[in-house]
């Protein structure tokens, strides 16, 4: 940790650890390429963390390991005290694309994870909960709308609901708003903050955008490539709730500049 | 008045008359009138060719002759005559052939599209068979299944199966990485992934395969009748042609094409109903 790290730890970081990765490494057997080495990450209850790095720094490998899609080669991955050995219902995921299915209504899309895990009856019972989530994300009234009629931002709101319906212990966000235009993206980030804090969610964001990572996070992990490892952990001690206006403050600028400096040195060699 | 102002001024004045209504007279004619026009020109040319004996009437009947025969065949069909029986036989062949092709084509398509073994080991043989002229198998089907409708059903199904296999297999590959990863993170089984995601996503391509198959199944049934006899509509055409009764041949072909169009329209209608979410995209692309 360096000078830019917070002088005082924000409240969120005092919480109990939810998701812990220690010394995680990944070597792909296919080409013997070391994608990750010695990655240690701790997500505490209610905290928002981001990982940032250039393309090929191992971000997607890290997220695949954290979501249980692939096993790590070395190290321990522990969520809520139990090792992650595959996809789990206490892991919620969101992708760059909303990935809503056009033959299902918004409501039917949201209860899909329940339908897959517990069957149709359970999915039907979960519809009440799904309606409440739609209200939370500001999509009330769109229950029976088909995804083709939703805008990009609305579709991502619905996909937030689908992620939350199983009440996961951790939210893994894979560049969720990078396909949206910048105005919508800023607005959706503030919405994401509101939704996460209202549910005291533990979130982990992968992004290419330094300002996005800084404005949302309590902690930013800066990664460098070959092999993918964590170069620096930056604590962001901007007060909460964050606002878009904070992006114009000198302090915000300093943090962004610091992270950019770290990336520039490592990423483009 | 400066030049710029003058340009702006003329533009404003001409705006109403020139820019708003820049459609030619052709755009104002309704589509059915244009279609009718083409039809009338076609019949007139046809009439000229036959009236002045450019072509022998045995080879090409006059439009009037053809029209009269069209009415005669229509009367026979409506009064339940021998032609209706023949048409019924052909319809049965098409129906069973299509059902068989759907059952076999869909199953093979799922095997080829979903399993690595199917794609690697079975698909090459299917492609090899598909490149053969399938009509050449007709005598074999007659030898195996006789002169009854079975051999025609077999040929019709044989021709119609491949588009369905290809449509199903290609459709199953259409699922994107995000959807696949989403289903993996939800802990979906292979069966759930297939039924709840891959198959619905494949529907547009499956229905395209069905449309192609609906054309092929008609061709298969009629070819089967030409080569294997029987009592169907194709046999009527063959007999009429051998008697040089060309007006009858033309009339029978026209009724047959009505059946073909009916089948094709039915499959298209089904596609619009089942793959309802594609409607917007298709109309947007055609505009």
What confidence score (pLDDT) does residue A4 get? Answer: 39
Q: State the DSSP code for B103.
A: H
Cβ of A119 under 8 Å from any chain B Cβ?
A: no
What confidence score (pLDDT) does residue A59 get? Answer: 83
Asked whether the beta carbons of residue B187 and residue A112 sit closer than 8 angstroms, the reply is no
pTM: 0.78
Q: Looking at chain B, which residue has its C-alpha nearest residue A102? A: B277
What confidence score (pLDDT) does residue B1 get? Answer: 47
Taking alpha carbons only, the member of A210, A220, A228 closest to residue A2 is A220
Q: Looking at chain A, which residue has its C-alpha nearest residue B180? A: A99
Q: In this model, does residue A15 exceed pLDDT 50?
A: yes
Per DSSP, helices labelled H in chain B are 3-14, 25-28, 31-51, 63-78, 82-114, 116-117, 123-131, 138-145, 149-172, 177-185, 190-193, 199-228, 233-242, 246-274, 279-286
Query: Where does the pLDDT of residue A264 fall: very low under 50, low under 70, confident under 90, or very high at 90 and above?
Result: low
What confidence score (pLDDT) does residue B21 get? Answer: 57
- Chain A residues in contact with B183 by the CB 8 A cut-off are 116
Q: Looking at chain B, which residue has its C-alpha nearest residue A114? A: B186
What is the distance between the alpha carbons of residues B9 and B15, in angstroms, rounded to a whole number?
10
Asked whether the beta carbons of residue B185 and residue A148 sit closer than 8 angstroms, the reply is no
Q: In this model, does residue A1 exceed pLDDT 50?
A: no
What confidence score (pLDDT) does residue A124 get? Answer: 86
**A43: Cβ contacts below 8 Å, ≥ 6 apart:** A17, A18, A19, A20, A49, A170, A202, A204
Q: In this model, does residue A162 exceed pLDDT 60?
A: yes
What confidence score (pLDDT) does residue A27 get? Answer: 83
What confidence score (pLDDT) does residue B147 get? Answer: 83
Q: In this model, does residue A2 exceed pLDDT 70?
A: no
Asked whether the beta carbons of residue A89 and residue B184 sit closer than 8 angstroms, the reply is no
Using CA atoms, how far residue B103 sits from A104, B98, B110, B116, B227, in Å, is: 26, 9, 11, 21, 25
What confidence score (pLDDT) does residue B199 get? Answer: 93
Q: How far does A165 lie from chain B, in Å, by closest CA?
A: 12
- Chain A residues in contact with B197 by the CB 8 A cut-off are 101
Quote the mean pLDDT of chain A.
Answer: 83
What confidence score (pLDDT) does residue B218 get? Answer: 92
Q: How far does B179 lie from chain A, in Å, by closest CA?
A: 6
Which of residues 198 through 257 in chain A touch B, CB cutoff 8 A? none
Query: Where does the pLDDT of residue A13 fall: very low under 50, low under 70, confident under 90, or very high at 90 and above?
Result: low
In a mutational test of the A interface, the residue from B185, B189, B193 whose CB has the highest number of chain A CBs within 10 Å is B185
Residue count of chain B: 287
Q: Which residues of chain B have pLDDT under 50?
A: 1, 11, 14-16, 18, 280-287
Cβ of A103 under 8 Å from any chain B Cβ?
A: yes
Query: What ipTM describes this predicted complex?
Result: 0.83
Which of A23-37, A116-130, B191-205, B209-223 bottoms out in mean pLDDT, i.e. has the lowest?
Answer: A23-37
What confidence score (pLDDT) does residue B97 get? Answer: 94
Asked whether the beta carbons of residue A99 and residue B192 sit closer than 8 angstroms, the reply is no
Nearest to A91 among B185, B188, B280 (CB): B185
What confidence score (pLDDT) does residue B19 get? Answer: 54
Share of chain A above pLDDT 90, in %: 11
Q: How far does B169 lie from chain A, in Å, by closest CA?
A: 20
Q: In this model, does residue A220 exceed pLDDT 60?
A: yes
In a mutational test of the B interface, the residue from A67, A95, A119, A175 whose CB has the highest number of chain B CBs within 10 Å is A95
Asked whether the beta carbons of residue B200 and residue A87 sit closer than 8 angstroms, the reply is no
- Chain B residues in contact with A88 by the CB 8 A cut-off are 187
What is the distance between the alpha carbons of residues A130 and A123, in angstroms, rounded to a whole number?
10
Q: In this model, does residue A7 exceed pLDDT 50?
A: no
Q: In this model, does residue A132 exceed pLDDT 60?
A: yes
Q: Looking at chain A, which residue has its C-alpha nearest residue B185? A: A87
What is the distance between the alpha carbons of residues A172 and A94, in angstroms, rounded to a whole number?
6
A-B contacts at Cβ under 8 angstroms:
51
**A116: Cβ contacts below 8 Å, ≥ 6 apart:** B183, B186, B187, B188, B192, B196
What is the distance between the alpha carbons of residues A123 and B35, in angstroms, rounded to a whole number?
52
- Chain B residues in contact with A87 by the CB 8 A cut-off are 184-187
């Amino acid at each position: 940790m360096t000078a830019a790290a917070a002088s005082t730890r924000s409240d969120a970081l005092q919480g109990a650890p939810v998701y812990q990765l220690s010394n995680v490494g990944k070597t792909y057997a296919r080409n013997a390429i070391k994608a990750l080495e010695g990655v240690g990450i701790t997500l505490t209850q209610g905290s928002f963390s981001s990982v940032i790095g250039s393309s090929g720094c191992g971000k997607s490998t890290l997220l695949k390991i954290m979501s249980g899609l692939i096993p790590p080669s070395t190290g321990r991955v522990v969520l809520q005290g139990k090792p992650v050995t595959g996809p789990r219902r206490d892991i919620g995921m969101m992708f760059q694309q909303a990935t809503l299915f056009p033959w299902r209504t918004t409501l039917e899309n949201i209860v899909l994870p329940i339908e897959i895990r517990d069957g149709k009856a359970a999915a039907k019972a979960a519809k009440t909960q799904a309606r409440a989530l739609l209200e939370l994300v500001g999509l009330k009234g769109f229950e029976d709308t088909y995804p083709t009629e939703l805008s990009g931002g609305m579709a991502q709101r619905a996909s937030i609901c689908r992620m939350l319906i199983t009440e996961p212990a951790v939210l893994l966000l894979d560049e969720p708003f990078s396909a949206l235009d910048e105005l919508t993206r800023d607005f959706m980030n503030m919405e994401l903050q509101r939704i996460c804090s209202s549910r005291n969610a533990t979130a982990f964001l992968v992004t290419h955008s330094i300002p996005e990572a800084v404005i949302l996070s309590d902690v930013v992990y800066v990664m460098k490539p070959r092999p993918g490892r964590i170069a620096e952990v930056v604590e962001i001690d901007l007060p909460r709730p964050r606002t878009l206006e904070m992006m114009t403050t000198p302090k915000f600028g300093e943090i962004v500049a610091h992270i950019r400096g770290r990336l520039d040195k490592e990423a483009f060699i | 008045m400066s030049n710029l102002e003058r340009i702006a001024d003329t533009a404003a004045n001409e705006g109403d008359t020139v820019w708003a209504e820049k459609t030619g007279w052709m755009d104002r004619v309704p589509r059915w009138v244009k279609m009718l026009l083409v039809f009338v020109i076609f019949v007139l040319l046809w009439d000229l060719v036959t009236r002045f004996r450019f072509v022998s009437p045995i080879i090409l009947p006059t439009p009037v002759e053809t029209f009269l025969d069209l009415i005669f065949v229509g009367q026979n069909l409506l009064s339940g005559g021998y032609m209706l029986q023949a048409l019924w036989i052909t319809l049965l062949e098409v129906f069973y052939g299509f059902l068989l092709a759907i059952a076999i084509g869909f199953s093979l398509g799922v095997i080829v599209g979903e399993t690595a073994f199917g794609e690697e080991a079975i698909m090459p043989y299917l492609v090899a068979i598909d490149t053969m002229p399938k009509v050449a198998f007709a005598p074999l089907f007659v030898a195996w299944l006789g002169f009854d409708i079975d051999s025609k059903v077999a040929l019709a199904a044989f021709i119609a199966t491949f588009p369905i296999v290809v449509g199903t297999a290609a459709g199953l590959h259409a699922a994107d990485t995000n959807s696949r990863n989403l289903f993996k993170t939800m802990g979906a089984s292979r069966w759930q992934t297939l039924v709840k995601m891959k198959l619905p996503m494949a529907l547009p391509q499956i229905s395209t395969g069905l449309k192609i198959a609906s054309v092929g199944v008609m061709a298969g049934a009629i070819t089967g009748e030409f080569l294997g006899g029987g009592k169907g509509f194709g046999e009527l055409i063959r007999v009429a042609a051998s008697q040089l009764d060309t007006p009858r041949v033309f009339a029978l072909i026209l009724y047959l094409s009505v059946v073909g169009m009916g089948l094709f329209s039915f499959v298209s209608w089904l596609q619009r109903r089942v793959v309802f979410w594609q409607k917007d995209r298709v109309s947007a692309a055609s505009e």
